[in-house]
Structure formats: C-alpha cells, structure tokens
C-alpha cells in the first residue's frame, strides 16, 4: 500500500470528497447495518467510513500503510489508528470479525500478500468487504481523487484474486454511479442511476467475501496400484 493516506485525507476534506463519503457510507451501512459487539478493522484508508460502526463495535481500528503518513483517527478522541506493513499486520491470528479494505487493494505493492495477511487476522466466521475502483467506471481515471491512483479492478478480477487467496465471494455490489464532479442532487442521482444503470458502470466495486475453509484442504485421490516384481513376472 504505497499510497499516502494524507492524500486521501485531503480529498475527503473537500466538498467532492464529503459527497463521496456520504454516498458510500450509505451503501456500506446497507451491507453491514449493525456490527454491535464485533471487532472491526479498517485497512488502507477507511477512517471516513469507520464512523458508521465505531460507537457500536467492541473494537474499531484503522490501519494505514507504513509507507505513507499515518493519519490520526478519530479527531479529538483517543487515537484508534496505527500504521503497519501490508505483508505483516501487527495483529494476532483470528482477531477481527469484520475487515473493510478501502483504498488498499488498488494501492497494494503485493495484493496476494496483503490478502494472505487479511485471511490470517480475520476470524473463521468473519467477513471481508473490499472496496476498489471499478476498471470500467469514470472515477478510476480521475487523478485528482484517490480512486484514480493504483490498479483498478473489475468485479471478475477481484473475485479471481480473492479465490486465489482462499476467500469465497458472498455478495457483490457497487457505488458511485454519480460522475466524478460535485452535484447538489448527488444522492438523488445515485439512487436513480442504481435502478437504471448496470453495476459495471459504477465508480466503485464492492465485494463481500468469507474464508473458504476448504480451499486449503487437499483432495484425497484414490491410491494407485503399484505393480510388484512378482506381478510383473
């Protein structure tokens, strides 16, 4: 995750960034409406969205990439953020119920190593939500936003990457149907476009996944009969 968290923080401090945060928080709140008593990790730059669950979750932590500048979160309250390496997360095994990967996958130096670490720290019955720029969407080509940097993905590409990392996709969704400009009626546009346009045209692809506990179990094959010297004779 080589992107600078401060760049993302600066974007969300703008009117356009605030618009994006409102629209995406609404969608995330629909996917994960209540996380009461659960442990939540926001990985990448997820601070604008963790506020959805901070008050109800048992534990809510934001981790930003060690390569960039860590951003304190939440403002004016005890710090709940830290920095860490994407291939060596500073947490024990099986410690989070939910992980939100936001501004993380597209900026990862090695996406598979990152997902292996996510697999390690996620509980066996936990859930991962990956938010990434959609390769076909307009937002992936606007460099004045965090979505215009790094590697954009199609829904299929994310699904194959997750499968290769021992995850199973449970649900797909999308967000940011609005164009990458500030609109006064952004919420109305977003809701209307969602019912008209295909998900593939949205700016962001959202993928919820769980651990595929059987992916690492080798398939037992029928033992082959070996010919002995006596049979050969």
Q: Which of 6-20, 120-134, 165-179 has the lowest mean pLDDT?
A: 6-20
Query: What's the total number of domains in the chain?
Result: 1
Domain contains 232: no
Q: What is the reported pLDDT for 218?
A: 45
Domain with 90 in it: 5-213
Average pLDDT value for the chain? 88
Site of tokens 């008209």: 196
Distance, in Å, from the CA atom of 70 to the CA atom of 64, rounded to the nearest integer, reads 6
Tell me the CATH number at 149.
3.40.50.150
The model's pLDDT over 181-196, given as tens digits with 9 standing for 90+, comes to 877 899 999 999 999 9
Domain contains 224: no
Gyration radius of the chain's alpha carbons: 20
Domain contains 231: no
Distance, in Å, from the CA atom of 163 to the CA atom of 124, rounded to the nearest integer, reads 16
Is residue 77 within 8 A of residue 11, CB to CB? The reply is: no
Domain contains 161: yes
Question: What's the whole-number mean pLDDT along residues 161-179?
Answer: 96
Residue 72 main-chain phi, psi, to 5 deg = -65, 140
The model's pLDDT over 21-53, given as tens digits with 9 standing for 90+, comes to 999 999 999 999 999 999 999 999 999 999 999
Residues ≥6 apart with Cβ < 8 Å to 192: none
The model's pLDDT over 65-112, given as tens digits with 9 standing for 90+, comes to 876 556 777 877 777 888 888 889 999 999 999 999 999 999 898 999
């Amino acid at each position: 995750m080589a992107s600078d968290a401060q760049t993302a923080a600066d974007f969300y401090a703008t009117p356009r960034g605030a618009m994006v945060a409102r629209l995406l928080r609404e969608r995330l709140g629909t996917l994960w409406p209540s996380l009461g008593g659960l442990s939540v990790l926001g990985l990448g730059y997820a601070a604008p969205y963790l506020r959805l669950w901070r008050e109800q979750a048992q534990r809510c932590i934001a981790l930003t990439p060690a390569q960039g500048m860590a951003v304190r979160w939440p403002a004016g309250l005890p710090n709940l953020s830290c920095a860490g390496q994407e291939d060596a997360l500073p947490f024990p095994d099986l410690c989070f119920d939910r992980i939100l990967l936001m501004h993380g996958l597209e900026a990862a130096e090695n996406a598979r190593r990152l997902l292996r670490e996510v697999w390690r720290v996620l509980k066996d019955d936990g859930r991962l939500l990956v938010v990434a720029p959609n390769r076909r969407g307009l937002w992936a080509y606007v460099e004045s936003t965090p979505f215009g940097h790094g590697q954009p993905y199609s829904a299929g590409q994310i699904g194959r990457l997750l499968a290769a990392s021992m995850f199973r996709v449970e649900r797909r969704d999308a967000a940011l149907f609005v164009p990458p400009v500030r609109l006064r009626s952004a919420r109305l546009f977003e809701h209307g476009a969602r019912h008209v346009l295909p998900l593939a045209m949205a700016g962001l692809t959202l993928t919820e996944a769980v651990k595929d506990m059987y992916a690492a179990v080798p398939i037992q094959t029928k033992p082959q009969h070996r010919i002995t010297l006596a049979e050969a004779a």
